[in-house]
Amino acid sequence: MNPYEQYMKEVSQPMRDELITAGFEELTTPEEVDEFVSTMEGTSLVVVNSVCGCAAGLARPAVRESLKGDKKPNQLVTVFAGQDREATARMRDYFEGIEPSSPSMALMKNGQVLHFIPREEIEGYEMEEIVNSLVKAYQQYC
């Protein structure tokens, strides 16, 4: 690992931990992504994490807040854009017809995206709007 990669790994660790401590499993390889999608049971929330300000100030806090209710996905997983590039690219392969976006959130069932929140619906929005979008999706699909 070169010094830049090492630095970015250290800088991004607290951003990873924010989701891990909220119950998310990190998928860091394409193989882990394939295994997850092929064994997916019930509904799953997939968060494409990133180091940007809207991930820190809106996406991760909104995701954590959305999970406080009674209805929530069966599984929580995350890939890290810009860090675990191959895993992120593989997960995006499963987001058929959806442009790559980070941060972003996908509610999935049986390998299909049921609800998707791209960066354009995170950046510039209020956290409550993002939470409400997720909670409505949980109520509908979970």
The three-state secondary structure class of 101 is coil
Q: Which of 15, 27, 52, 79 is catalytic?
A: 52
Active site residue 54: yes
Q: Which of 22, 51, 54, 56 is catalytic?
A: 54
Q: Identify whether the C-beta of residue 74 lies closer than 8 Å to the C-beta of residue 142.
A: yes
Would you call 142 a catalytic residue per the annotation? no
Tokens at 57, concatenated: 């100030």
Distance CA 115, CA 133 (A): 9
Query: Does residue 103 have a cis bond before it (omega within 30 degrees)?
Result: yes
Q: Which residues are catalytic?
A: 52, 54
